[in-house]
Chain A
């Protein structure tokens, strides 16, 4: 398998559930990212990891908890989410976090909060 793989592709959960999104990259990259994509809004950068260390947390609510056990895997743990959290969650990776190193995206997890 190549590229960036995200699972599951679709997730429906209640506000009191706990679930996790998984991302795996097979590109040998050192940086990984979580983005939120909502209709008619810009992609919102949520978290950045470089060599497994979190380097950016863009004021994301604590109900989203990232985990990066190694440079190839990234998780987003979800708990007590709100209806406004329904969106497409995209994972991306890049060789490093320098601006000219392009990000490669997965196909996302479509999250629906009931």
Chain B
């Protein structure tokens, strides 16, 4: 059973547009929700993360929106740039039993 469901699988956005990637989870024991960015030939790198007691977190052009009651969270990339073209993974982790689960990834392409 997939612990974290991510959509869409791929996304094409015009330069300057907003990219939105969504994730959903079921396990209420998750208490930390990071997003990772992965470029071809590289490992994932932490982009931004949020705890469930916060509804939104913003770092530069990247914002996480968190809906605890719906068990959903999303990544918004404002003013998307071609350099943002990468694969993005959401994740959910818990202190209980070393639980670390990732989504299937979203391949983002920002066209000039």
A99 and B44 within 8 A (CB): no
Q: Would you call A82 an interface residue if the criterion is a C-beta within 8 Å of the partner chain's C-beta atoms?
A: no
* Minimum C-beta distance from A56 to chain B (A): 4
Task: Name the contact of B2 in the complex, choosing from A42, A90, A108 (C-beta under 8 A).
Answer: A42
Question: How distant is the Cα of A105 from the Cα of B31 in the complex, in angstroms?
Answer: 21
Question: How distant is the Cα of A29 from the Cα of B51 in the complex, in angstroms?
Answer: 22
Q: Would you call A102 an interface residue if the criterion is a C-beta within 8 Å of the partner chain's C-beta atoms?
A: yes
A42 and B46 within 8 A (CB): no
Question: How distant is the Cα of A27 from the Cα of B100 in the complex, in angstroms?
Answer: 20
Task: Name the contact of A102 in the complex, choosing from B9, B46, B89, B99 (C-beta under 8 A).
Answer: B46
Q: Mark B68-112, 1 if CB is under 8 A from A, else 0.
A: 000000000000000000000100011101111111110000000
Question: How distant is the Cα of A90 from the Cα of B105 in the complex, in angstroms?
Answer: 15
A45 and B95 within 8 A (CB): no
Q: How large is the interface on A (under 10, 10 to 19, 20 to 34, 35 or more residues)?
A: 20 to 34
Q: Which residues of A contact B93 (CB under 8 A)?
A: 99-100
Task: Name the contact of A90 in the complex, choosing from B4, B44, B95, B103 (C-beta under 8 A).
Answer: B44
Q: When A41-B104, A42-B102, A97-B98 are in contact, do A107 and B41 touch as well, CB less than 8 Å?
A: yes
28 CB-based A-B contacts, threshold 8 Å: A33-B100, A40-B9, A40-B104, A40-B105, A42-B101, A42-B102, A43-B44, A45-B101, A55-B98, A90-B43, A90-B44, A92-B43, A97-B98, A99-B30, A99-B31, A99-B32, A99-B94, A99-B95, A100-B49, A100-B51, A100-B93, A102-B46, A103-B46, A104-B46, A105-B43, A105-B45, A106-B43, A107-B42
Could you tell me which B residues sit within 8 Å of A by CB distance? 2, 4, 9, 30-32, 34, 36, 41-46, 49, 51, 89, 93-95, 97-105
Could you tell me which A residues sit within 8 Å of B by CB distance? 4, 33, 40-43, 45, 48, 55-56, 90, 92, 97-100, 102-108
Q: List 6 A-B pairs, minimum CB-CB distance, nearest first.
A: A105-B43, A99-B93, A99-B32, A43-B102, A56-B98, A42-B102
